[in-house]
């Protein structure tokens, strides 16, 4: 295994463990976050997506996957899981929009350099 | 002999501790995320909710102290913090700062009482934990299963040394001893000649 990937994996492990402990303790000092656990999990994975630089095609598949899962859970009357999946679809769609805006800015900058 | 045996024990313990922490952390992440997204799916995941704030704090402190001792004794190339700091990218540094903040908030809430110095303490604690994490990542990335080989070689060396010591106790005139006596004798002769020359002059 390459050393750069090793460093990234170690940092993700540290970050995920610390963030999950921060969530489980429920009374953190200074910031009192009152959000649902699913949204917290989504926010927790944002820095990791930033760290690994995943291509846009793979990120675009996330909402589709979650949407299929919502249908699957609603068919078997598992409404709690289905609600969580809907939340994740919405949040992943928001992520795609933000990502596209950032890409637009990058394209504009590159065009200016060529001009 | 004692030093080597302590080092041997220390390395064997290290072989158990490092993989154990990695496996435990992965299991903790998997169970908690599954419990958040799919509540009530895994029965083992519900046991994590029973852990209180003080339990988490004591566990985190135990691991921090253990790893500070391990890193202090085991990093043979004790690198300067500024050299290590430049090896990391800006992204990685920011994520590590957030991680250190999460843990320091937990520790300060449990150990220290809430005062107007709590924010200052939090900043100091985040800095200390950030430095610790940089060393920790460096240690984990350089950790290999090659240590098995070093431990095995150490074990053989220990055995050879033990056998040598036993032999020396039984036999007085070993090769080393003979050489030592010869050198001493020859030196005495040389010294006496020099002394005689000086006296003669």
In a domain, A82, yes or no: yes
Residue A22 lies inside a defined structural domain of this protein: no
Number of independent structural domains in chain A: 1
Pairwise CB contact (< 8 Å): A30 & B122: yes
Which sequence spans correspond to the domains of chain B?
2-148
Classify residue A24: in a domain, yes or no: no
CA neighbor of B29 nearest in space, from A27, A12, A60? A12
B94 versus B118: which is more confidently predicted?
A: B94
> Is B13 a residue whose pLDDT tops 70?
yes
- Given a contact cutoff of 8 angstroms between Cβ atoms, the answer to whether B126 and B101 are in contact is yes
Asked whether the beta carbons of B177 and B185 are under 8 A apart, the reply is: no
pTM of the complete model: 0.75
Structure token digits, residue B159 = 């055995």
Query: Which range is least confidently modeled, A8-12, A15-19, B88-92, B149-153?
Result: B149-153
Is A1 a member of any domain?
no
End-to-end Cα, chain A, rounded Å: 42
Chain A residues whose CB is inside 8 A of the B92 CB are 7-8, 11, 51
Q: Is residue B23 packed enough to be buried (19+ CB in 10 Å), middle (13-18) or exposed (0-12)?
A: exposed
Across the interface, which of B48, B49, B102 has its CB nearest the CB of A18? B102
Contact criterion met (CB < 8 Å) for A14 and B137: yes
In a domain, A46, yes or no: no
Its domain, for residue A98, covers 54-114
In a domain, A79, yes or no: yes
Taking contacts as CB-CB distances below 8 angstroms, the residues of chain A near B88 are: 7
What is the pLDDT confidence band of residue B133, given thresholds at 50, 70 and 90? very high
Query: DSSP letters along A47-73, please?
Result: HHHHHHT--HHHHHHHHHHHHHHHHHH
What was the pLDDT predicted at B176?
56
Q: Using CA atoms, how far apart are residues A24 and A27, in angstroms rounded to an integer?
A: 9
Span A2-58, pLDDT tens digits: 778 888 999 999 999 999 888 887 655 555 667 788 888 888 888 888 888 888 888
> Torsions phi, psi of A67, nearest 5?
-65, -40
In sequence order, which residues have a C-beta less than 8 Å from that of residue A2 and are 6 or more positions away? none
């Amino acid at each position: 295994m390459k050393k750069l990937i090793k460093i990234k994996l170690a940092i993700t492990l540290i970050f995920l463990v610390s963030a999950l402990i921060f969530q489980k303790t429920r009374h953190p000092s200074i910031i009192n976050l009152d959000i649902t656990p699913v949204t917290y999990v989504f926010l927790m994975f944002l820095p990791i997506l930033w760290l690994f630089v995943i291509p846009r095609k793979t990120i675009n598949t996330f909402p589709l996957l979650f949407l299929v899962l919502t249908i699957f859970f609603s068919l078997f009357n598992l409404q709690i899981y289905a609600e969580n999946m809907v939340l994740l679809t919405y949040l992943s769609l928001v992520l795609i929009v933000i990502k596209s805006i950032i890409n637009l800015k990058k394209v504009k900058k590159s065009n200016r350099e060529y001009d | 002999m004692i030093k080597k045996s302590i080092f041997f024990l220390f390395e064997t313990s290290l072989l158990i501790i490092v993989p154990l922490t990695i496996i435990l952390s992965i299991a903790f992440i998997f169970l908690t995320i599954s419990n958040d997204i799919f509540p009530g799916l895994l029965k083992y995941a519900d046991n994590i909710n029973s852990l209180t704030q003080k339990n988490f704090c004591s566990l985190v402190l135990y691991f921090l102290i253990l790893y500070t001792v391990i890193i202090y004794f085991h990093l043979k190339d004790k690198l300067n913090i500024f050299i290590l700091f430049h090896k990391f990218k800006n992204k990685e540094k920011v994520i590590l700062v957030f991680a250190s903040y999460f843990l320091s908030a937990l520790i300060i809430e449990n150990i220290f009482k809430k005062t107007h110095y709590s924010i200052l303490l939090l900043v100091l604690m985040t800095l200390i934990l950030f430095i610790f994490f940089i060393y920790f990542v460096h240690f984990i990335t350089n950790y290999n299963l090659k240590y098995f080989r070093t431990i095995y070689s150490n074990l053989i060396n220990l055995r050879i040394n033990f056998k040598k010591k036993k032999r020396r106790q039984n036999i007085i005139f070993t090769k080393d001893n003979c050489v030592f006596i010869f050198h001493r004798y020859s030196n005495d002769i040389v010294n006496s000649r020099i002394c005689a020359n000086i006296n003669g002059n």
